[in-house]
Structure 1
Amino acid sequence: MKHPVDVHVGKRIRHRRWIAGTTQQQLAESVGIKFQQIQKYETGMNRVSASRLWDIAHALGVQVSFFFEGLDEAVNVPSMDASDMPGDIMSDREALELLRSYYAIPENQRRRLFDLARVLSEAA
């Protein structure tokens, strides 16, 4: 049975890998394992050891703590109303593509876009 923490960490690995434009194969090679193991980590089927998580964080250019961000909310808080957002925003390809595009925009323009999106969502 999958543990919610393992599932959350796996989703964060997949999210960061995807944002970085790295394939499962590339990540696996950089940490010295097979890509199938990355698949198992990303789905939460296998737990990631501390040393392996350290290697993955280094390969993806983040702190180990990145993989635990939002964990309390993910495990303890019921998901939002389905009409508001998908149950798992990090598995929604369109949302991830939007996020990748968003971070490709220069910071000052990105801030203006964020402000515009907030205003439009409040007006809807």
Structure 2
Amino acid sequence: MPHETTIPSRRRGRPPRTDTLGPVDDHIGARIRLYRRSRGISQKGLGQGMGLTFQQIQKYENGRSRVTVSALCRIADILDVPVILFFSDLPDADPCRPAPNPLSDRDTLQVLQHFLPLPGPVKKQMLALMRVLRPAEGIRQNSVPAEE
């Protein structure tokens, strides 16, 4: 009798995850929430625009599900923000450190809500004013691009 080799049966569905979610995923999710809220769009509304459920948007925002590049581009398009904004102020010093949550400060959210609808020239004037008013210490220089 010939020797039979048993081949393990293949799991149905997706292969098991080998990578883990981390601070970058948390940061991107927090940015999605920040820009979604600043536009006054619900999780359900963003999900409908993408053909997803609000639960999936919730997973993205809470950092429990990784956002693909194509999904992030669609989100940026729906929220009318440049994709690069999702990566601004990425935690780079310590990859294990949790990303700061910009939504923890209501004043920041209010400023953003009032700032986004302004026309370009007014935004530039506001940025110039903020540069003059901000304290010299404690704020990263690259967080607000210098005017050229």
Q: TM-score, normalised by structure 2?
A: 0.60
Partner in structure 2 of residue 63 of structure 1: 82
Q: CA deviation at 1:44?
A: 0.5
Task: Report what 1:84 is aligned to.
Answer: none
Q: CA deviation at 1:52?
A: 1.1
Partner of 2:104: 91
- Match for 1:76 among 65, 68, 93? 93
Instruction: Check whether the contact 2:27–2:101 (CA below 8 A) recurs between aligned residues.
Output: no
CA-based RMSD? 2.7
Residues 48, 103 of structure 1: alpha-carbon distance in 2 compared, 3 angstrom cutoff: closer
- Residue 41 of structure 1 deviates from its aligned partner by 0.3
1:110 is aligned to 2:126 = yes
Mapped partners of 1:36, 1:115: distance in 2: 39
TM-superposed CA distance for 1:18, in Å, is: 1.4
> Which of 40, 50, 53 matches 2:69?
50
Distance 1:112 1:68, change over 3 A: closer
2:115 and 2:81 map into 1 onto residues whose CA distance is 19
Taking structure 1 as reference, are residues 115 and 91 closer, same or farther at Cα in structure 2, changes over 3 Å only? same
SS of equivalent residue, structure 1 residue 95: helix
* Higher fraction of helix: 1
Q: Which residue of 1 aligns with 2:140?
A: none
Q: Which amino acid aligns with 2:75?
A: I
Secondary structure in 1 matching 2:58: helix
Displacement of 1:88: 3.0
